[in-house]
Amino acid sequence: MAFAVVYDANVLYGNEVRDLLIRIALSGAVRAHWTHEILDEVVRNLAENRPDISPDKVSILRERMNAALPGALVENYEALIESLKLPDADDRHVLAAAIKSGAEVIVTSNLRDFPADVLAVYGIEAKSPDDFVLDQLDLDEGTVRNCVHEIANSRTRPPKTFAAILDALERAGLVESAAALRD
């Protein structure tokens, strides 16, 4: 059975990274999880930073994410939040969701907010999206390559190539993963 991960809001914000992470989960390589609170943060940040995206499109994005991975939504984790200690108290909900869902990994761009010693108590590790994708490449390179091809094939307005998707992933911080996929 695939291991469970929690995707933090910051890795679900960017289109290509979000698409890749969801497609990795759709492949069955991992069981991805998030919460309403995580999705609220994604939606709030998109609305704030991308006024060119209509609120309707942002709502549709949220619905499609939950429809694509019906088991992803973690609920009833709130009782754990108060007992958790992290450098940023606003991130406790992410750790609570990881504990509740039995996740082994939190995929986040804010590694400093999830200290290894704190997470180790719960058998959880924080990984950057680049390190997470590199791990997936080590486990099954073909699956990750197929996910990137699927993203490229889904982009029709304007059309995008495999190389263009790798460029976008690299710009989004998946530098080593994009380099490994270029080889």
69 contacts: CB under 8 Å, gap ≥ 6? 22, 25, 26, 32
Range of the domain at 47: 3-129
Rounded CA gap, 34 and 7, in Å? 6
Whether 58 maps to a domain, the answer reads yes
Q: Is residue 158 a part of any domain in this protein? A: no
Predicted confidence at residue 29, as pLDDT, reads 96
User: Within a domain: residue 13?
Assistant: yes
Asked if the structure places residue 146 within a domain, the reply is no
What does the H/E/C string look like for 104-169?
A: CEEECCCHHHCCHHHHHCCCCEEECHHHHHHHHHHHHHHHHHHHHHHHHHHCECCECCHHHHHHHH
Let me know if residue 78 belongs to a domain: yes
> Is 142 among the domain residues?
no
Domains contained in the chain, number? 1
Question: For residue 183, what pLDDT is reported?
Answer: 83
**Residue 55: predicted pLDDT:** 87
Q: For residue 151, give the amino acid letter.
A: I
At 106 the pLDDT is 98
- Whether 85 is covered by a domain: the verdict is yes
Copy the structure tokens of residue 183. 């080889």
In a domain, 53, yes or no: yes
Check residue 117 and give its pLDDT. 97
pLDDT tens track, the chain, 183 positions: 789 999 999 999 999 999 999 999 999 999 999 999 999 999 999 989 998 988 899 889 999 999 999 999 999 999 999 999 999 999 999 999 999 999 999 999 999 999 999 999 999 999 999 999 999 999 999 999 999 999 999 998 888 999 999 999 999 999 999 999 998
Q: What is the CATH number of the domain that holds 28?
A: 3.40.50.1010
